[in-house]
Amino acid sequence: MAWISRLGDKAGAMSSVVSAMGCAMCFPAIAGLGAAIGLGFLSRWEGMLINTLLPLSAWLVLGLNALGWVAHRQWHRSLIGMLGPTLLLLSLYPWFKYGWSAKVTYAALALMVAVSVWDVWSPASRHCEDSHCGRASA
């Protein structure tokens, strides 16, 4: 189960970034970067990317980080991993009408990518509880 949450987290974060690259009207800075690396053709599917794929990717990352907590029991890693998709979903729905929601979206996408890179660089491992550490099972 650990490899599913590790792989899915990265796939979800990358699909969120690629989805945002397809919407030049909503996210001009990241869409410009997407066009510069050859993803300008995504603008044809702007509605589907923003209304369907971006929220689904955020929900996927949110769920997989919650499952990751079950696997490694490190609440701080899981909390940081769940913060990005939560901010992304908030910026897409209740905060979308405000001008600063685009900045929250950029920050959420950056946080999702940073947590994914952190997980590759320093993978989580299960921490034992104090009452069970050092005891051999007999």
The 10s digit of each residue's pLDDT in 20-50 is 887 777 778 888 888 888 887 877 888 788 8
DSSP 53: I
**Mean pLDDT computed over every residue of the chain:** 78
Distances (CA, A) of 26 to 22, 42, 69, 82, 129: 9, 13, 33, 23, 45
Q: What is the pLDDT of residue 136?
A: 47
Using the predicted structure, report yes or no on whether residue 130 has a pLDDT greater than 90: no
| Token pair 């069970």 in the structure block, residue | 132
Q: What is the pLDDT of residue 87?
A: 94
Distances (CA, A) of 11 to 14, 15, 112, 135: 5, 6, 11, 38
Q: What is the pLDDT of residue 34?
A: 84
- The CA distance from 83 to 23, in Å, is 23
